[in-house]
């Protein structure tokens, strides 16, 4: 029996309708939600992501600004542009599109964004609040994953959860959000011994390692919820970190790539921008 497909596109579309209503209500109160994105250089993948964000904003009614800085801009010039957006009361969300050119300090740029405008949820203040269980702006991808798990009816209370990947963007915040839901969480990474033995115990398995089709069927517990955060390109086609075709025969729930976590990440960015506008 094949797994239930958790369709991120469908969830994102339903969310967009509710978000459009919230945006309309804010506009009637005289607040025009606004998201500003800073991109450095002409990275083709970044350009695609930024266009997706612009389209999502337009669909909901959020004003969007895209600031493209030259490839050779300095850290000081990048910070100056962030400072200007921080000071602009008409801008509610500020996002620095990653990756930046290698010579620029990504962490410094993320810290430069005011915590209350940090719709990516990457600022150290927001990360610290998440750690302590204080309401904060949450990183978009883990927030979207949790939304999908809950709405798909995956039992979380008391579940064994395994997160493969320990990045600040996905792995670490994902583990904290699952802990909040009373899961027993194991975080695995490139130095983990006997990875398959650990993943086979998981009721909830989140793969965020950036290795195409790395999670195979023999690594998955029958009936588990498998969330594929990976986006890889193999022979010109997108695929995730999970061997979808085979794993779906073992799992109870599974997300596809594309059409799974990706749309939900953008949906949660819209959600965070609206939350920032409400607070402002």
Q: Which residues are catalytic?
A: 53, 97, 120
Q: Which domain holds residue 48?
A: 30-115
Q: Give the model confidence (pLDDT) of 141-181 as tens digits.
A: 999 999 999 999 999 999 999 999 999 999 999 999 999 99
Q: Give the model confidence (pLDDT) of 27-84 as tens digits.
A: 999 999 999 999 999 888 888 889 999 999 999 999 999 999 999 999 999 999 999 9
pLDDT for 47:
86
pLDDT for 255:
98
Residue 161, helix vs strand vs coil: strand
Give Cβ neighbours of residue 60 (< 8 Å, ≥ 6 apart).
Answer: 16, 19, 20, 23, 270
**Is 128 a member of any domain?**
no
Which pairing describes strands 237-239 and 232-234: parallel, antiparallel, or unpaired? antiparallel
Q: Are residues 148 and 237 in the same domain?
A: yes
Peptide bond into 258 cis (omega under 30): yes
Q: Are residues 144 and 258 in the same domain?
A: yes
**Is 171 a member of any domain?**
yes
**Is 213 a member of any domain?**
yes
């Amino acid at each position: 029996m094949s797994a239930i497909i958790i369709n991120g596109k469908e969830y994102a579309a339903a969310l967009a309708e509710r978000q459009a209503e919230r945006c309309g209500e804010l506009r009637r109160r005289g607040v025009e939600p606004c998201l500003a994105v800073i991109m450095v250089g002409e990275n083709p993948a970044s350009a695609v992501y930024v266009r997706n964000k612009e389209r999502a904003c337009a669909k909901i009614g959020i004003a969007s600004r895209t600031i493209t800085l030259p490839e050779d801009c300095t850290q000081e010039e990048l910070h100056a542009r962030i400072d200007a957006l921080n000071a602009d009361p008409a801008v509610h969300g500020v996002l620095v599109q990653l990756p930046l050119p290698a010579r620029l300090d990504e962490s410094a740029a993320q810290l430069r964004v005011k915590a209350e405008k940090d719709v990516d949820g990457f600022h150290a203040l927001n990360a610290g609040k998440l750690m302590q269980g204080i309401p904060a702006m949450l990183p978009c991808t883990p927030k979207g994953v949790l939304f999908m798990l809950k709405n798909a009816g995956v039992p979380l209370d008391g579940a064994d959860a395994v997160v493969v990947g320990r990045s600040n963007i996905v792995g670490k915040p994902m583990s904290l959000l699952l802990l909040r839901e009373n899961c027993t969480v194991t975080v695995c990474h490139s130095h983990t011994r006997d990875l398959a033995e650990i993943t086979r115990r998981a009721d909830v398995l989140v793969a965020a390692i950036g290795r195409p089709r790395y999670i195979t069927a023999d690594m998955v517990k029958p009936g588990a919820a498998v969330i594929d955060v990976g986006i890889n390109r193999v022979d010109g086609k997108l695929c995730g970190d999970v061997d979808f075709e085979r794993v779906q025969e073992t799992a109870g729930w599974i997300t596809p790539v594309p059409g799974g976590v990706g749309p939900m990440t953008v949906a949660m960015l819209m959600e965070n921008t609206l939350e920032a506008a409400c607070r402002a």
